[in-house]
């Protein structure tokens, strides 16, 4: 069974390159004819994070030809690199389960208890949100989930001053985008100060050894949140500013950058391969959403793994397989989206499928 194979061969599966996560779909994927030797990596090297980059396996005669293909995002620490390679390895071979939390239903385990009580399993990924300036609470729950061996993803609903929550992300905006994105202005300094609020929290997670699937400015191309109201060019500039600030100033090597499109998936909003690790779409339409998946493929080809970063009703394994919709993970939204939009018998079947990876089946990082 696929899941058993993944469990037994996790060390092999995570050998997908940090540079190119392709599954031979063709856009930037190197063909066998372009490679003159294979990389040899031992299990001990995988466990210690000593494996070499794929670009070291290329023939010296192909170096200049493949220089553009070999561009990579920021260097990641050993644990983060292992998690990223594992995610890459899931493309077309399995799907990692995920669930967004709520914190207002009497227990911060509300969704996770519901899933376990109905399936006997926990999701592999826990979704959190720095909304309402809950940096301490989110970090505490992230560290607890990390200790269980799980994967953490964090988004951030906030106003244009990078504070408060959902209403503010809908109802605020940057008054002058040009000044806000121009270094040396008071508006730019204010924006950096706001961005740094989450950076400081992410540094705490870095120091605790926690890797984060960082999903800022999600649904940017939808037009409803302030970070999308300035248009695609301003959004791309802002994304790159945050990426540079977090990577080069704050030295956050524990982040896997997730570029989360809405269900529209407009390509001119894409920041570029050098600034993104995972690309995804979300949709609350039932089914596998193969059209959204194909839209993302049209933007990034096989250069990045593709996730279903928000959904309501979880697509069935049969739907995913028959439509060749190779999301690397799904993440169901909180409260009624998991409890009311998913039939309990379907939920149990999905979480116990050999194709779906749950918390107990993740490799040791």
Angle at which helices 135-147 and 186-207 pack, to 10 degrees? 30
Task: Mention every residue, 6+ apart, whose C-beta is less than 8 A from residue 244.
Answer: none
Q: Would you give per-residue pLDDT tens digits along the chain (365 residues)?
A: 444 444 444 444 444 344 445 443 333 333 333 333 333 333 333 333 333 333 333 333 333 333 332 234 578 999 999 999 999 999 999 999 999 999 999 999 999 999 999 999 999 999 999 999 999 999 999 999 999 999 999 999 999 999 999 999 999 999 999 999 999 999 999 999 999 999 999 999 999 999 999 999 988 888 899 999 999 999 999 999 999 999 999 999 999 999 999 877 778 999 999 999 999 999 999 999 999 999 999 999 999 999 999 999 999 999 999 999 999 999 999 999 999 999 999 999 999 999 999 999 999 99
State in words which class domain 2-30+77-361 has: alpha beta
Instruction: Return the active site residues.
Output: 219, 310
Parallel, antiparallel or unpaired: strands 255-260 and 125-129? unpaired
Q: Show me where the domains of the chain are located.
A: 2-30+77-361
The predicted model scores a pTM of 0.82
CA distance 293 to 299: 10
Phi, psi of 309 (to 5 degrees): -80, -10
């Amino acid at each position: 069974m696929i899941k058993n194979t993944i469990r037994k061969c996790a060390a092999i599966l995570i050998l997908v390159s940090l540079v190119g996560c392709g599954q031979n779909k063709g856009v930037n994927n190197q063909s066998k004819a372009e490679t003159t030797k294979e990389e040899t990596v031992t299990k001990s090297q995988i466990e210690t994070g000593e494996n070499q980059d794929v670009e070291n396996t290329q023939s010296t005669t192909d170096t200049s030809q493949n220089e553009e293909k070999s561009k990579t995002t920021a260097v990641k620490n050993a644990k983060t690199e292992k998690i990223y390679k594992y995610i890459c390895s899931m493309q077309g071979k399995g799907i990692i389960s995920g669930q967004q939390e709520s914190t207002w239903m009497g227990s911060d385990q509300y969704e996770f208890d519901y899933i376990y009580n109905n399936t006997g399993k926990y999701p592999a990924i826990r979704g959190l949100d720095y909304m309402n300036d809950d940096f301490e609470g989110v970090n505490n729950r992230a560290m607890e989930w990390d200790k269980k061996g799980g994967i953490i993803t964090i988004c951030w609903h906030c106003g244009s001053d990078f504070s408060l929550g959902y209403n503010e992300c809908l109802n605020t905006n940057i008054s002058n985008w040009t000044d806000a994105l121009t270094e040396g202005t008071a508006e730019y300094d204010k924006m950096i100060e706001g961005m740094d609020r989450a950076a400081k929290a992410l540094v705490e997670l870095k120091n605790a050894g926690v890797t984060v699937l960082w999903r800022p400015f999600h649904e940017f191309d939808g037009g409803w949140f302030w970070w999308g109201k300035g248009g695609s060019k301003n959004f791309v500039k802002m994304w790159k500013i945050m990426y540079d600030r977090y990577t080069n100033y704050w030295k956050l090597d524990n982040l896997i950058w997730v570029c989360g499109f809405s269900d529209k998936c407009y390509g001119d909003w894409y920041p570029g391969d050098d600034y993104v690790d995972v690309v995804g779409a979300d949709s609350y339409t039932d089914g596998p959403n193969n059209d959204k998946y194909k839209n993302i493929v049209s933007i990034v080809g096989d250069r990045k793994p593709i996730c279903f970063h928000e959904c309501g009703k979880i697509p069935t394994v049969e739907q995913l397989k028959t439509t060749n919709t190779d999301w690397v993970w799904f993440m169901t939204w909180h409260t009624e989206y998991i409890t009311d939009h998913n039939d309990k018998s379907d939920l149990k079947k999905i979480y116990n499928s050999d194709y779906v990876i749950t918390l107990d089946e993740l490799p040791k990082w």
